[in-house]
Chains A and B, each alone.
Chain A
């Protein structure tokens, strides 16, 4: 991916071959927001993160972060001299130190003059991640989710210029994941530094990513802004059963009687389960391709709440035999679509239905959305 060079802060061209593993990437990542490195295990996403951190050394290449060269033919800056924060997949805390001592381990090494956890900046980090009640505990007395929160807080206390996270939720069960994801979303909105986040979970990608890099077998297969990558019909992401798009919306009104809220976005509005989100607040809504169906007319006699006018942009074969992917642009309010700003859905239907409805590109249809998830 070649991004605008002014906005690029992480510039890497790295090559590494070891046994069956062969990595060759040329990437420029943006200065802000969350970049998700996505791919199956063995795709090289964790290796890439370790090269960034200096925990491993790529055999060839160049790595430059915010103007500083971290690796080239002659130089290799060791990990402890790189201004990074790193959150490991599991066992992230130093086992012989209490939570407080773990945090101080980081703080003492970046501040010369006796900084404490009571300083304003540290306080902010601790309250952002809800650490204060845990300070006196030992790592083995924490749940997996609490451990990861402490690890994230510790990484932030080391005042990183880039935060690197290697599948921080992968070792947690569903409930722990739900417990920690709101903290990650807060990081996303409140941190000024870029976050590079490795995951193989499409759900985490949908919630957190601003930019997506999809890796397969050591190569970048597609990359770009999240909404773009998620709506690419030939992207390997579409092979996933949970493939879908993310819509940036905001809350317009509440319908208390039905426990519903109305959310508006470029090109339309829709009903969602009301989770007590205030009017005006920005939310992310995830719509999976398998939950979107297509009709030629608007059915008033359907149990489906959200039926939105749309136009077919593209039809492509899905990886599953007999299935098609249909890319739809929502045309609920016309003017937004024309200035290049639009909301796109992907629908997965059967080839039989497509033939039966005689769907072709450019056709106006109705998109029925069976269900969706509010991600905030």
Chain B
């Protein structure tokens, strides 16, 4: 039972960290994708979307190699005195960020694109410079997109399995998240524990989604009305 609680706590910590990091990383990427017209925009969009189509284990495999002792990322983290990332919590964070990136970038990109040119033009004629326009026009008008991006990024991180197993392994308290713990219970034929964990996960996910979607519905409907 304690193991289950530890796995839940670790999962929440991982999902929260990843969601916050992804909102920070994903916002400029989404903004750039929504506004740029350079020729390699398509290639960047494809790289961001890759995790949508790749089997998670493929991503996990390459990350393991990259971040391992013989990989370039591994060499870098070792030279910085950070040690190796595979089979650590921060290794999981890096892997999850890559894996969940499209689920954050795409809603943000859609939200930025939905604003259209007009509000930015209005702001420019009122003497707002580019940064001013980003913070006072783009961010507030894209609010529903941020809510959706946060929900999807969080939920997707909670639900991942393949990448976690490849990169993080199964270390209690460090990398053993709920999905891995559940797999262990089923392997051990401990169906009572599996039920307990699965049901609480279902309930939790449902409640989070209900709360956030209710909020988002209100935000997006008022957005439509005002637009």
Contact = CB atoms under 8 A, between A and B. Distances in A.
A55 B119 CA distance: 12
Contacts of A78: 124, 129
Given A94-B137, A96-B141, A138-B226, A109 B122 contact: no
Contact count band on A = 20 to 34
Contacts of B126: 80, 105-106, 109, 154, 158
A91 B118 contact: yes
A139 B226 contact: yes
Interface residues of B, number: 20
Contacts of A55: 121, 124-125
B141 A109 contact: no
Pick from B122, B223, B226, B227 the residue with the most CB of A within 10 Å: B122
A30 interface: no
Interface string A223-267: 000000000000000000000000000000000000000000000
Interface in B100-155: 118-119, 121-129, 132, 136-137, 140-141
A79 interface: yes
B202 interface: no
Given A88-B118, A91-B118, A105-B136, A96 B226 contact: yes
A94 B122 contact: yes
Contacts of B223: 95-96
Given A94-B119, A94-B122, A94-B137, A80 B128 contact: yes
Contacts of B136: 105
Contacts of B137: 94
Interface in A88-110: 88, 91-96, 105-106, 109-110
Interface in B143-193: none
Interface of A: 53-55, 78-81, 84-86, 88, 91-96, 105-106, 109-110, 138-140, 154-155, 158
Given A84-B125, A96-B141, A96-B226, 16 more contacts: A79-B121, A79-B124, A80-B125, A80-B126, A80-B132, A85-B125, A91-B118, A95-B223, A105-B126, A106-B127, A109-B128, A109-B132, A139-B226, A140-B225, A155-B125, A158-B127
